[in-house]
Amino acid sequence: MNTNQTLDPVTTEVIGSALLAITDEMSSALVRTAYSPNIKERVDCSTALFDTEGRVLAQSQRLPLHMGSLLGSVRHIHERFPSESLRAGDMFLANDPYHGGGSHLPDFNLVAPIFAGDELIGYAANTAHHSDVGGMVPGSESADCQEIYQEGIRIPPVRLCAAGELRDDIIAVVALNSRVPRDREGDLRAQIAANRVAERRMLELRDRYGTGQLKDHFASLLEATERRIRTRFAVIPPGDYVHDEYLDPLPDGTEQRIRVRLRADGRTLRFDFAGTSPQMPFARNIPYYALAATAFCVVKTMLDPEIAANDGFYRSIELEAPEGSLVNPVSPAPVGARALSCGVLADALAGVLSQAASDQAVAGSAPHQLVIFAGIDPRNGEYFVNYETIAGALGARASHDGLDAVRIYASGAANLPIEALEQAFPLRVERYELLSDSGGAGRFRGGLGIRRDYRMLAPQVEISLSGERHHVPAPGIAGGADGAPGRFVVNPDTDSAVALPSVAREIRLRQGDVLRVDTPGGAGFGPVSDRNPDLLRRDLEQVRVTAPDEQVRR
């Protein structure tokens, strides 16, 4: 950076805002040109910009969990391909958690170096969740996969575009490994378009400010963000804080613990995960870059929601995670359903931060639930895959109720709108509502989960299920009650109703069958005896609870 202390902080802020605007424009281009409902309707994608050293400059306000994939892939590419080997128009594709910086295989990361003439000025990157990339189950994501080879195609960093020329052979390999190949090609082309938007806009910034000044302001932006967050850390009482959180146990009953120790010294937050359970032989493991993204998101959410999501913030946080543990597995451990586990990881991080910053304390939350529908669509005779994640709820805070029907912390894609779902797939949504009695009681009540009923309109539909907090509900704090657990039921409210396990695959439903998904609820904060009587009456009037005794249940 230029050591001359004449950099205008207003210009730095203007450039920072321009970078964020570029990532938002990238996201719009990606969503509008994508083929699959998972991207164009659920917006399961993210975009970001990086400097020439692979440091994050800005990320679109989409899915914080994707920052792990983007950060990992850019770092792998930056290390594997020296800048002198790169050319304008290159783009690199990667998805592998162990050899490409990804966090699970359906997230395809596309990274483009940006050149002004012959000089590298940064990288544009985006990630998009592809609804099927092969593997043993449609949708490429089942929590009972036992090794990563079962989860789909694995891609180390490879050139998808070379000097601006698309390599159709790479697209052909990806498409051949997918059950819905047309969507794969269309979505990859949308990702290419998004990076090209970033290239144009970054070159406009360069033309306005010049390469040297632009890089100086990039460094100044990161330094300003770092100063801001370390000032916030300075008010946290120094010390060690420890919190345990538990995933649902393994089928044999073995508990799955996430233990986190926070060491605060007034300047840096250090999270140590020693004591966390070993990696499991199922796809609920959390790869390192997903761990990092979740930690960044929880700290930002609880301590400074408005701070810029860039490397100046990220480098103020240190992570120690034992290799071979649930939060830093080694190959070939499967990781496909890591997002559900990250919901519990987020509660572990929020729990330890609640001790260190009690004014921001938050009770346990409820992660989304995953259902994948697949089969032959009788309307056109084509194979379909519908990847659905249905929102859970946020736990209560120390000052207000939790949030209903939301994706918590690092996870942020939308529920698929009913109109889009029914147009694209042979399914009908017959019930979609807040789930009464699912939020834990307390001085402040936990958020409500969702009930969503799907009727099968195809002769046969295969479903895969991945749930969390079916056996270990979101825990209340300070005397608050736990949230309700989640559940899956076939043909509910009938004599043939069947409760399904929280993790299952190759379940075949017939035309007319109904699948009910009840997502778990958030936990309460404080004893319900301290709840404002007006809020108790409101809970009943709004059917948040169905009877007076539900005010104190659980």
Q: Are 407 and 413 spatial neighbours (Cβ–Cβ below 8 Å)?
A: yes
Q: Where are the domains of the chain?
A: 9-225, 362-554
- Give me 388's structure tokens: 């659905």
Sequential pLDDT tens for the chain (554 residues): 444 457 889 999 999 999 999 999 999 999 999 999 999 999 999 999 999 999 999 998 777 888 888 888 888 888 889 888 999 999 999 999 999 888 999 999 999 999 999 999 999 999 999 999 999 999 999 899 999 999 999 999 999 999 999 999 999 999 999 999 999 999 999 999 999 999 999 999 999 999 999 999 999 999 999 999 999 999 999 999 999 999 999 999 999 999 999 999 999 999 999 999 999 999 999 999 999 999 999 999 999 999 999 999 999 999 999 999 999 999 999 999 999 999 999 999 999 999 999 888 999 999 999 999 999 999 999 999 999 999 999 999 999 999 999 998 888 778 889 999 999 999 999 999 999 999 999 999 999 999 999 999 999 999 999 999 999 999 999 999 999 999 999 999 999 999 999 999 989 999 999 999 999 999 999 999 999 999 999 999 999 999 876 565 44
Q: Are 475 and 364 spatial neighbours (Cβ–Cβ below 8 Å)?
A: yes
**pTM for the full predicted model:** 0.94
Give kind and range of the element (H or E) at residue 200: helix 181-209
Mention every residue, 6+ apart, whose C-beta is less than 8 A from residue 465: 369, 370, 371, 488, 500, 501, 502, 503, 504, 505, 507
Q: CB neighbours (10 Å) of residue 398?
A: 18
pLDDT, tens digit, for every residue of 310-356? 999 999 999 999 999 999 999 999 999 999 999 999 999 999 999 99
Q: Which residue has the tokens 């938050």?
A: 362
Quick one: residue 85, left, alpha or beta (phi over 0 = left, psi -120 to 50 = alpha)?
alpha
Residue closest to 393 by CA, chosen among 401, 384, 385, 402: 402
The span from the CA of 79 to the CA of 332, in Å, is 22
**Radius of gyration in angstroms for the set of CA atoms belonging to the chain, rounded to a whole number:** 23
User: Where are any strands of DSSP class E within 22-173?
Assistant: 45-50, 56-59, 91-94, 107-116, 119-129, 158-162, 165-166
